[in-house]
Amino acid sequence: MAKYGFIGSGLMGNPMAMNLIKAGHQLTVYNRDAAKCKNLVEAGATQVSTPLEVVAAADVTYCMVSDPEAAMAVCFSPHGVIQGVGSGKGYVDMSTVDPQTAEKIGISIQARGGEYLEAPVSGTVQPARDGQLVIMAAGDESLMKRAQAGFDAMGKKTVFLGEIGAASSMKLTVNMMMGSMITALSEGLTLAEASGLKGEDLLDILAAGALACPMFQGKGSAMLANNFTANFPLKHLQKDLRLAVQLGDHHRVPLANAAVSNEVAKRACQIGLENDDMCAIVQALRPPQA
């Protein structure tokens, strides 16, 4: 088996890396907060102190960090990924970033003789734990062959989309739709409750008709239970909505629903909900408690 590396051990990265270990892959890991790698080391991973050391030890390095700024820092810091890249090295960035960031990283990796894939995922913490993510890849198709065994351990489906930038554009499109849907659900539950209706009845009716979808049922039930334990933090949803609106500006595509959802998400973050689950966006719409 190829020697794999993994950078990032947060809510998503940790279970994704664990699935690589469970699949029998030799794994070298790094996280800015070293303590978050403890369970991975206990499971057999080797921990190092810089991204450069991960790339040096691995044939293919996967990365899962929070945003474009973190993705750039991992690559271009003094002991970053770029310093260790060369012929025979593959780098797979699974973070959700904008196409411009993916292109900057990809061009820099390739200029040093390495291979690059952007490979953001669709799915939250539970699918990450279960190895059921959907992986959207673009870039060096030759790297797909070496990375696929890792993708198979982390996900249930991998789609290759072509040139660098395509996967990040697809991921932002998917998360833009998710953000618009979670905002619509929040509005619907808030309106139903204000009208004296039971939220549970609304979810039952949605489940029986054309609007039936797992997210409405799962997140709707969480909203009604005021269970905002983070599976996908609201601050990350807002970041993705912001990047999607920027992508729409770039292509001159009007994204009215996404823009409004972004504003609602910003409000929810403003009132202190940024680290709660994305379904906490409903709290920005509910009337203040007396």
Active-site residue flag, 171:
yes
Residue 49 CA to chain centroid, in angstroms? 24
CA distance 189 to 225: 12
Please give the Cα distance from 81 to 56 (Å, whole number). 9
Give the residue from 31, 8, 274 showing the smallest Cα distance to 121: 8
157 DSSP assignment: E
Which one from 89, 104, 171, 219 is the annotated catalytic residue? 171
Amino acid at 234: L
133-139 and 115-118: which strand pairing? antiparallel
Cβ–Cβ < 8 Å for 43, 29: no
Phi-psi region at 134: left, alpha or beta (left = phi > 0; alpha = psi -120 to 50)? beta
Mapped onto helix, strand or coil, the DSSP state of residue 228 is coil
Which secondary-structure segment (H or E) carries 129? Answer: helix 125-130
Closest CA to 153 of 8, 21, 53: 21
CA distance 21 to 39: 11
250: three-class secondary structure by DSSP: helix
End-to-end CA distance of the chain: 60
Half-sphere exposure of 87 (CA within 13 A, CB side): 0
Residues labelled as active-site residues: 171
